[in-house]
Amino acid sequence: MPVNITAYKEIKSVLDEAHVTLVAVSKTKPVEDIQALYNEGQRDFGENYVQELVDKEAALPKDIRWHFIGHLQSNKVKYIAPFVHLIHGVDSESLLKEINRQAAKNNRIIDCLLQVHIATEETKFGFDGHELSNLKITQFENLKIKGLMGMASFSDDLVLVRNEFKKLKTIFDQFSIIHSQFSIISMGMSGDYKIAIEEGSNMVRIGSLLFGARNYNP
């Protein structure tokens, strides 16, 4: 299925009006598809797999802002540290330490979001509210924690989904009082981004609405 430019333009105009950043999630999609959206002006792209991201970064224009949105393993941070724009899914202190170390090696500051576990499903990664408050987030010189990321349950129960987003927004607001560098709340995907925006998201990660369905099991 080709890139849906019409959908892109519609979504983009709604998001621009609401001051929400669109991360176009291009995992498993070919560089041609990314280039097609780039040609429409899109610059923020999200990927889930390190090797795929490294290959695409090498093949595509250098002014793309690459977001890593997958589950990042510590031993792979070094591959994306030279160029990654924002790492969304940071879910442990040891991963923070490794990102900080690799950022220092590359002489840069890497922006990160902490992933918060908001879904009722057991399988989603992330900190819970208690773990978050115990985390000393100012101790890293080469990384900047810019906010929070969360994934709602994959469910038809829209009340449940809305409540999970509400929970993340509440935690975000509490942390923003203490941490002035907090500015990004990344929540919302193809199926739930409208609810996420109503609940205060300012960054959404949208894949299949733009690039079509992915033909694999994520």
Ligand X SMILES: *Cc1c(COP(=O)(O)O)cnc(C)c1O
Residue 150, classed as helix, strand or coil, is strand
Least separation in angstroms between residue 23's CB and ligand X is 8
Question: Where do contacts with ligand X occur on this chain (CB under 6 A)?
Answer: 25, 27, 48, 69, 151, 189-191, 205-208, 218
Do β-strands 184-186 and 44-47 pair in parallel, antiparallel, or remain unpaired?
Answer: unpaired
Least separation in angstroms between residue 189's CB and ligand X is 4
Nearer to ligand X, 71 or 108 (CB): 71
- Copy the structure tokens of residue 17: 């009006």
Task: Measure the CA–CA gap between 116 and 124, rounded to whole angstroms.
Answer: 9
Least separation in angstroms between residue 92's CB and ligand X is 16
Nearer to ligand X, 107 or 217 (CB): 217
Residue nearest to ligand X (CB): 207
The conformation of residue 66, written as its DSSP 8-state character, comes to E
Least separation in angstroms between residue 138's CB and ligand X is 26
Nearer to ligand X, 116 or 178 (CB): 116
3 with 45: CB under 8 angstroms?
Answer: no
Partnered with residue 46 across adjacent β-strands are: 25, 67
Nearer to ligand X, 27 or 167 (CB): 27
Task: Measure the CA–CA gap between 44 and 13, rounded to whole angstroms.
Answer: 15
Nearer to ligand X, 24 or 110 (CB): 24
Q: Where are the beta strands (DSSP E) in the chain?
A: 21-25, 44-47, 65-68, 86-90, 110-116, 143-150, 184-186, 203-206
Length of the chain: 218
Least separation in angstroms between residue 55's CB and ligand X is 18
